[in-house]
Amino acid sequence: MQKVTFGAGCLWGVESAFRRVKGVFSTSVGYMGGTLEKPTYKDVCTDKTGHAEVVEVVFDPSVVSYDDLLSVFWSIHDPTTPNRQGPDVGTQYRSVIFYHDKEQEAAARLSKEKLQRSGKYKKEIVTEIRPATTFWRAEEYHQRYFEKHGLGTCKY
């Protein structure tokens, strides 16, 4: 099993999208990239902790590749909007890939460059690519939120 961590806006919709991918073993929603230890949702929503709302994905690379997961990531949000996805505004909603090793870093950078060159977006892709730091698991009521409430997925 391998791990990847993505931030692409509201953690509920991002988690829901990755849970449906064959080869994904588990998902957890939480926060990464900030300065406050053990942040809560309330803390992160102040837009002062530096954390992004993220989904940690554990996957089986013999079933789904990291590149396939990157494709899902790019398809579920607008990577050209800084600190915003749909109605959600703030640095916690930024587009970010947290890599866990050098291979993930290289693949993420190459994927971003290819997408930018593809012409799909007229604006610059602002997605950050950063080393993974401590993952702070969000409160239990955020985990599998869409499933618990019978909702579909976010589409921005």
Task: Give me the active site residues, please.
Answer: 10
Q: Residue 26: beta bridge partners? A: 58
Residue 87 one-letter amino acid: P
Say if CB 154 and CB 8 are below 8 A apart: no
Residue 73, helix vs strand vs coil: helix
With contact defined as beta carbons under 8 Å apart, do 43 and 105 qualify?
no
- Report yes or no: 52 and 6 within 8 Å, Cβ to Cβ: no
Distance CA 52, CA 55 (A): 10
